[in-house]
Amino acid sequence: MEDKVLKGLTRLICLFLIVTIAGCGSEQQGAAGANPVAEDQKIFRWKLITTWPKNLPALGTAPEKLADQLRVMSNGRLDIKVYGAGELVGAFEVFDAVSQGTAEMGHGAAYYWRGKLPVAAMFSTVPFGMNAQEMNGWLHYGGGMELWRELYAPFSLVPFACGNSGVQMGGWFNKEINSLADLQGLKMRIPGLGGEVLKRAGGTPVSLPGSEVYTALQTGVIDATEWVGPYNDLALALHSAAKYYYYPGWHEPGSTLEAIVNKEAWDSLPADLQAMVRVATRAVNDDTLSEFTARNNAALQTLLTDHDVELRVLPDDVVNQLKTTAKTVVAEMAMEDELSQRIYDSYMAFLEDVRAYHRISEQAYINAR
């Protein structure tokens, strides 16, 4: 009898162990099978800081559009909150903040980091250099993006082209510019390489974020300022702080805006979200230029007809001297180090080729129509 009981208990114990082991195996398989699903549904919440006043047309709305597109494309998996200049960090602190991981993403213009990386300005704009169409060609099909990533890599940043203003205006002045002598001592808000060119021409370049430009011009802290073009200049009401509106925008013939991503944050994204960032930045890059192209027309007419702005052209001798000086400034910058020289060589080689072709295509057509 005892033998039968023992045998029965043994069978029950064995059956229990079999069921338990099988159950554990099923749970492990279920957990392993659930991992990919959990990873696919992980939500990444990022902060995007910008150098622009919140919701400034085109410049300030470009990062908002980027965040909105990525939220929709990812079905909410990449959720980005946008902060205007000064809301989280100052306008000129964006590069360092994203580099250090304070925010995962930033939006601005590479020439703002000229004090840290002089050659970075070439990935935004070069005086008398490439226009927007040409810049996009160099960046995406001429080796420019690879050099840009190499330049930013030591700072743990991944850059993307994410907007372009097109050819800008020469700026707002409270004094007439009739000769080179009028540039002597001129205090002008002008960033990037254009600022260095003005300095060598006898002026005093001043670095100011967009939120401070109007007040500085109105109160006489500066004598002149460039900003962007009619669309953005009208939004800042610069016409009420200066009398003369000059062209051409020799200093910014096609300013590329950048989106920068912290490298660790970038590496944390799965491949599909990385692909979405690439696609969305390219879309906003095109959309911003299209917006400026469409909106500048009406804004200029508003400035001229409703606000009696005096539109002036810079004298030829002034433009020619600025061009000569710009060549020297850009060439000297290339001597900083080996990478700067490679960036300069790549940019100038592409410019030479595209200028030759555009002389008989884009320029010839514009002259003919």
| Phi, psi at 231, each rounded to 5° | -60, -55
Give the DSSP H or E segment for 262. strand 256-262
pLDDT at residue 39, rounded to an integer? 61
Query: Residue range 345-367: average pLDDT?
Result: 98
Q: Work out the number of other CB atoms within 10 angstroms of the CB of residue 60.
A: 21
> Measured in whole angstroms, how far is the alpha carbon of residue 136 from the centre of its chain?
13
Taking all residues of the chain, what is their mean pLDDT, rounded to a whole number?
Answer: 91
Higher pLDDT, 225 or 2: 225
Does the structure show a pLDDT above 70 at 4?
A: no
d(CA 245, CA 237): 13
Q: Answer with the residue of higher pLDDT: 355 or 13.
A: 355
Look up residue 300 and give its two tokens: 């200029």
- Taking residues 218-246, report their average pLDDT: 97
5: pLDDT strictly greater than 50: no
pLDDT (tens digit per residue) in 82-125: 999 999 999 999 999 999 999 999 999 999 999 999 999 999 99
Edge-to-edge strands, sheet with 105-108: 78-83, 44-50, 105-108, 256-262, 157-164
Asked whether the bond before 154 is cis by omega within 30 degrees of 0, the reply is no
Task: Please report the pLDDT score of residue 28 as a whole number.
Answer: 37
Cα separations in angstroms, 227 against 28, 70, 120, 348: 61, 29, 19, 26
CATH hierarchy code of domain 43-165+254-293: 3.40.190.170
What kind and span of H or E run contains 304? Answer: helix 271-306
The whole-angstrom separation of Cα 126 and Cα 253 is: 7
Going from N- to C-terminal start, the domains of the chain cover: 43-165+254-293
Average pLDDT over residues 295-308: 97
What pLDDT shows up at residue 114? 93
- pTM for the predicted model, two decimal places: 0.88
Helix (H) or strand (E) holding 83: strand 78-83
Which tens digits make up the pLDDT trace of 26-60?
A: 333 333 344 444 567 899 999 999 999 999 999 99
pLDDT band at 18, cuts 50/70/90?
Answer: very low
What the block records as the tokens of 339 is 């990478």
198 bridge partner residues: none
CA dihedral sign of residues 9, 14, 18, 21: positive
pLDDT at 41: 86
